Structure 1
Amino acid sequence: MSYGGYMDNKLHGFLIGSDIQVDINNKRLIRVSSGNSDKILNFSAVVLKDIVMKLLIYILTNARDDVVSKEEILKNVWDDNNLSSSNQRLWQVVNELKEKLSLIGISPDFIVNQRGKGYKVNHSYITPLYYKESNYV
């Protein structure tokens, strides 16, 4: 599954800030940071359900610079994947995503609901991470 980007490259994940990686293939969020000392490294990981990861990818790809409507999210995350969509389901999955994000230290206002419009990412440092597939085995 390709999520846009460079011509021959595939999206591997995202870097949020300087220490949180979204690992799409393994459906997890990973945080690696040094605590109060450069000698101690803190590592935490959270596994996401399929639909939660699909929502996160869609939001990180499309809602960084602009608000994405609920209808657009429902169509692209649920309907296009042959899943049953509803505003209630979207609300539940957004809340589950926010809960998982908070477990690794991302603020609850990382994903903002702009009433009547849709959702937007409230973070300025999100970097897509790509890889180039090789023909080598």
Structure 2
Amino acid sequence: MRKFGYILGDDKNGVIVLRENRVLISLKIQKNIQSHVYLRQTMFRLLEFLLEKGKSGLLLDEIIMKAVWEGYGLRSSAPRLWQVMHELRKKLDELGVEDNFILRVEGRGYIVNAASYEPVYIRASYDRLSRFVLARQQNTDTVKRLK
């Protein structure tokens, strides 16, 4: 089995995170909530790192910067971490993820609300699942146009 992604929140009102496409899809269908968001590579690496390591407690700024930036040959800094984290939290908020999902511990690092997410594993190929997700998205768009 392969890790397909994550579900943030519950499977009716949450957000699904697809690793393959770096996309977050809201499972809610509401006018004031965006349906999906694509993340840039660094922002997605940050989210994925938080989800992979978040159940271990406090994630120190230095460790996050090494894993997300320096591990990929990029320069890191505290202001850059804050900026990307701020944008990520904003995008999560647009999709309906609760504000307390990622919390800042001032001067130290971040804590992820570990009770608010879980990994999703699959046996099917990504190709089959991508077709499913696209079909679901087209159906959602059709429903929105009819309203």
Q: TM-score, normalised by structure 2?
A: 0.73
**For residues 133 and 76 of structure 1, do their structure 2 counterparts lie closer, same or farther at Cα, with a shift above 3 Å needed?**
farther
Which structure has the highest strand share of the two?
1
Structure 2 gap ranges (5+): 126-147
CA distance in 2, matches of 1:75, 1:10: 26
Structure 1 stretches of 5 or more lacking a match? 1-8, 36-41
How many residues are treated as equivalent by the alignment?
Answer: 120
Q: Which segment drifts farther, 93-102 or 122-131?
A: 122-131
Q: Does 1:26 align with 2:18?
A: no
- Residues of 1 paired with 2:3 and 2:16: CA distance? 13
User: Stretches of 4+ moved more than 2 A in 1?
Assistant: 130-134
CA distance in 2, matches of 1:12, 1:83: 26
CA distance in 2, matches of 1:10, 1:116: 36
TM-score with structure 1 length normalisation?
Answer: 0.78
Provide the identity percentage.
33
Partner of 1:11: 3
**Cα-Cα RMSD:** 2.1
Q: In proportion to residue count, which structure has more helix?
A: 2
Q: 1: distance between equivalents of 2:29 and 2:6?
A: 20
Aligned match of 1:86 = 77
- 1:108-119 to structure 2, matched below 5 A, reads 108-119=99-110
Q: Could you tell me how far apart the structure 2 residues matched to 1:74 and 1:108 are?
A: 22
